[in-house]
Amino acid sequence: MCILSTVSATASQGKMIKASTLSARITLAMAGVIAASTILLGIISYAIFDHVEHRLLEILDSHAFRGIHTSEPYDFRFDANTLPIEEGMVAKFTASDSVPVVFLELGPGYHHNVRFGGRTYHVAVKETQGVKKYMLFDITEIETQENIFNLTLLLATLGIILIVVWVVYLLSRKVFEPVQQLSEQVGGLDPDERNVRIAKNYHGVEVGLIASSFDRYMERLDNFVEREQSFTSIVSHELRTPLSVISTSVELLEANKDHHNDTTRQYIEKIKKSTSEMVNLISALLFLAREDPAQSYNPPENTDLTELASDVVDEHKYLVRDQDVELSVHADQHIQVHAPRSHVQIVIANLLDNAIRHTEKGPIQVRLKDNKLSVVDSGTGIDPSVAEHAFERGFHARNTGHGFGLYICKRICERYGWSISLSQNPDVGSTATVSFT
């Protein structure tokens, strides 16, 4: 009974233990299995000992009872608390008025742990010709030794459990020390640090294979970063150089504008505008290619959205010159954002281009209100399922025309912590919204 109570207590305590690491979980699992096995062994030992004790006493009773019906039964005079013992630890008597009730109530058979007069007896009862005959074994000393054995067994079980838990804990810490070291080393790596290798610290241990795989991955990542940085550097130089030449040539042509007719001047203006857009786009793409997080980027200038939106709308009016489409700006709020003009211009221009592509007739408005910029068109609208993916890279739905432009808008907004969305209007058209809060 005591052992079962101990098992319950141990199980209750086990529910309170929180294993937050792999070594702790394995320690608890191994210790739990060994502890359960030890407790089970203790219970089996106790049950076997108790069964053997009862069986031996029953064998002795059976042997002693063989001649009891032919011999004269002993007739003792009992008092309330004493029982005379004959033959050392054995007493025999026949039922009579002087026999205590505790014995008279016993039926034929074997009865263990009968208490009388402060002593413990094993009682065998046999009924012959209607008369009950009793034989008692005084097992007080046996029970005392049994209790000592049970207590020793319980303490030994608890001791073994504690020792096993401690040993398993120490072994698990030793075994998982490389795993913990690898975890801490990988977790403490600086993302900006290149050419980091860790496998050399884990030769001869199982996690060395993981460390080697990690090194191979880091080597590929380093090569990728190096190629990307080289590419962006080359692109920056190779693209900016011809654009600078074009810009210079356009300025020289503008200097001699008196010698050009109106058509030539329009072409020169278009080249100048396209060159400016390309310079801004390259600047934005190189900015997005940087690894700096948005929180670490501190742009050097503020941009007035009202002024910029008006300029962008004016620059796009030539696109709807032959269409029944009206472009306008409605500013209910004066908004300034902490970002370069060229980056914000790319966002507004791409959203406006997208609206123009999907509007054949009706107004397109750029609205500034509640610290938001919205481009509202009266075109074909957008399906909600398409709107969910419109800003994804390379996404192209049938008859939508969404693509790289919206993806660039999304990336720029993410770098500055803005939110951007595209939704269907209740009546007609769609609305693209950039929130600067």
pLDDT digits (tens, 9 = 90+) for 19-44: 456 666 676 777 778 778 778 877 88
Look at residue 7 and tell me whether its pLDDT is greater than 60.
no
327 pLDDT tier (thresholds 50, 70, 90): very high
pLDDT for the residue numbered 70: 44
The pLDDT, as a whole number, for residue 6 is 37
What is the model's pLDDT at position 272? 78
Complete edge-to-edge strand list for the sheet that includes strand 324-331: 324-331, 361-369, 372-376, 430-435, 419-424
Residues in CB range of 256: below 8 A, 6 or more apart: none
- Rounded to a whole number, what is the distance in angstroms from the first to the last CA of the chain? 68
- Give ∠ CA 89-94-98 in degrees, rounded to 5: 95
Which tokens is 10 given? 């141990």
Q: Which residue has the higher pLDDT, 54 or 17?
A: 54
**What integer pLDDT is reported at residue 435 of this predicted model?**
94
Beta-carbon contacts of residue 262 (< 8 Å; ≥ 6 apart): none
* Spatial distance between the Cα atoms of 238 and 234, rounded to a whole number of angstroms: 6
Model pLDDT for residues 264-307, shown as the tens digit of each residue? 877 787 787 777 777 777 777 777 776 555 444 556 678 899 99
Mean pLDDT of 192-197: 76
For residue 373, what pLDDT is reported?
Answer: 94
Tokens of 335: 């908004």
Answer yes or no: is pLDDT of 350 > 70.
Answer: yes
| Residue in 277, 335, 333, 289 with CA at minimum distance from that of residue 308 | 335
Query: Residue 13 has what pLDDT?
Result: 42
Residue 329 has pLDDT above 90, yes or no: yes
Most confidently predicted of 229-233, 243-247, 257-261: 243-247
Q: What percent of the chain has pLDDT over 70?
A: 77
Percent of the chain scoring above 90 in pLDDT: 9
Q: For residue 124, what pLDDT is reported? A: 84
Sign of CA dihedral 336, 341, 343, 347: positive
* 65: confidence class by pLDDT, cuts 50, 70, 90: low
Range among 66-80, 163-177, 185-199, 313-327 rated most confident: 313-327
Cβ pair 228, 289 in contact under 8 A = yes
Per-residue pLDDT at 12: 42
Answer for the pair 337, 305: CB distance below 8 angstroms, yes or no: yes
Using the structure block, give the residue that is written with the tokens 């046999």: 126
Predicted pLDDT at 376: 93
CA angle (375 as vertex; 374, 376 as ends), nearest 5: 105
**Do the beta carbons of residue 339 and residue 376 sit within 8 Å?**
no
Assess whether pLDDT exceeds 70 at residue 105.
yes
pLDDT at 185: 77
Q: What is the mean pLDDT of the chain?
A: 76
Residue 166: pLDDT over 80: yes
Residue 340: per-residue pLDDT = 86
pTM above 0.75, yes or no: no
Q: Note the CATH number of domain 295-435.
A: 3.30.565.10
